[in-house]
Structure 1
Amino acid sequence: MGYSRGGTADGPGSIQYLRLQRASSRSDIFPKLVAMQKNLKARNFAVFRIAGAGLPNKRKLVCELDNWAAGAVESGSQLIHGYGETLLDHIEGSLLPLVWNGSENTSFADAGEFASLTRRLPPAIVPFSGIAFPVRLGALGNGYVTFVATSMELSSDVIIDQHVRSCQVMMDLLALDERRSVPAESLSEREIACLQLAGDGRISEEIAEKLGLSVHTVNAYLGSATIKLDSVNRIQAIAKAIRLGYIH
């Protein structure tokens, strides 16, 4: 994501990271965003995903979730109008969070321990100050988790932690999309069992011994599961099975 911290080997994209608590619906994602908002001492949040990826001049930010206050529903439009093109361009080359100062007599420090972890946008284009955490998960999973406020409690640890949580939010949204398009041919109990053990780090020989099968049969189950999950290899199949809730 543009920075690292000790103990984050199981970061976004890793199998262990995907084992974090998954959302079964959008109503499960909302409390996570509220908790992040409280941690940042923010006023509101909004999640934007990028639509039209790969199509020249067709990319745009689409608001997926938000809790803009009553009477402030135009805030999302203001953010897109003021910084939309900048946000779309930024995520192509950097995953550093973006911060900006609005016209509400607020400001984030121009220097400090978190300065190298963020990029600053031109001030006063929108009336509110905020921070946007970019997440890049592929053509369908790119976007921003944003928070706005009159002031926020920012530090290196807070920024890194909230960025990781933003990745989980976007992964939840992507998983929900995938779940709605699960292949008609569901995984069998044997395929699920083999994937679960493979996800636990077992090799084919160990899985075969555990389930009382031949190594050839185990590899066949893993291969068929990979095909059903429309994955290119076993690791991707395990990751997708976790996101879809087949295994944990």
Structure 2
Amino acid sequence: MSVRNITKGRNGPKAQTRSLEAFEELASAFADLAAEVGAEEFCVFTAGPSLSQGRLTPAIDSEFPKVSRTSRKLAAKATASLGVRLRSSTLPFRWRRDRRTPAPDLHLVDIVDPIGLERSGFALPLHAASGRNGLAVFIGETPGLGDAMLLDFHLRAIGLFSTLLQATAVLPNKMPAMSNRELDCLRLTADGKTSEEIAELLNLSAHTANQYLTAAAQKLNAVNRAHAVSKALRLGLIS
């Protein structure tokens, strides 16, 4: 799938719109990859500069423009060993929910589930030409892939990751100044709370809660609150 070029006119309103459109196309392209191997969902992450710390930042997943619970769980539970694996190896790896059953004929490094997902899956380390690193995770029992098919699958994921990095570069260069209440409302929205539930939890009116969410979306140049939550997570403003 071809994803449009979004590098021109970087950081203006039109570039922000092109970036969102590129993310939508990337989500569709990664979904197509997941479907090819029968995966139930996918999550793609960028890795922080200190890979030994295993810091993963959600970039895109099956629920875009939202950030899925699986992405958030992976980002929160990523271990130092996972960071070391990203830094030291380009080999895909997998984990299985039931290690007693015969494994599918996948040419992957077999490891113990490093993040407590309690579901089988496999992951592809992503190393872009720019030097940036990331991880693509596909969740679910998958059929066997031969060496040639797995290599092609991995290369296509790396190509999409490179395009994703271009789209990410169009996000705001400066961290927006957010109030504590705006961040609280974004966190609760990420947890799936409605405006009424947020208002009750924060002792606000629903109208005021909506005002905070609208202000947060404007500061993040987001098209809606789900997009605002997604951007805030990717910028590290909330977790």
TM-score by length of 1: 0.52
State the partner residue of 2:163: 172
Structure 1 residue 162: Cα displacement: 1.2
Percentage of identical aligned residues = 18
Kept in 1: contact 2:34–2:42 (CA 8 A): yes
State the partner residue of 1:100: 95
2:26 matched to 1:29?
A: yes
SS state at 1:135 partner: strand
State the partner residue of 2:86: 91
Question: Which of 47, 56, 62 is matched with 2:57 structurally?
Answer: 62
After superposition, the C-alpha distances for 1:114-166 in whole angstroms (9 at most, x for unaligned) are 43xx2111148421111111111267621011101133342222211110111
Question: Which of 83, 92, 112 is matched with 1:122 structurally?
Answer: 112
CA distance in 2, matches of 1:178, 1:80: 20
* Larger-gyration structure (1/2): 1
1:98 maps to amino acid: F
Pairwise mapping of residues 1-248 of structure 1 onto structure 2 (< 5 A)? 21-23=2-4, 24=6, 25-51=22-48, 53-54=49-50, 57=53, 60-67=55-62, 73-80=68-75, 83-102=78-97, 108-109=103-104, 112=105, 114-115=106-107, 118-123=108-113, 125-137=116-128, 141-178=132-169
Q: Which runs of 5+ in 1 are unaligned?
A: 1-19, 183-248
CA distance in 2, matches of 1:38, 1:60: 27
CA distance in 1, matches of 2:139, 2:103: 12
CA distance in 2, matches of 1:151, 1:54: 31
Structure 1 residue 67: Cα displacement: 1.4
After superposition, the C-alpha distances for 1:174-204 in whole angstroms (9 at most, x for unaligned) are 122345699xxxxxxxxxxxxxxxxxxxxxx
Kept in 2: contact 1:46–1:67 (CA 8 A): yes
Q: Which runs of 5+ in 2 are unaligned?
A: 7-21, 174-239
Structure 1 residue 85: Cα displacement: 2.6
Kept in 1: contact 2:93–2:124 (CA 8 A): yes
Structure 1 residue 22: Cα displacement: 3.6
Change in CA separation of 1:55 and 1:91 when aligned onto 2, cut-off 3 Å: closer
CA distance in 2, matches of 1:158, 1:41: 14
CA distance in 2, matches of 1:104, 1:78: 22
SS state at 1:62 partner: strand
SS state at 1:133 partner: strand
After superposition, the C-alpha distances for 1:18-54 in whole angstroms (9 at most, x for unaligned) are xx93434111111111110111111100001112x04
Query: Which shows bigger deviation, 134-143 or 94-103?
Result: 134-143
Kept in 2: contact 1:41–1:152 (CA 8 A): yes
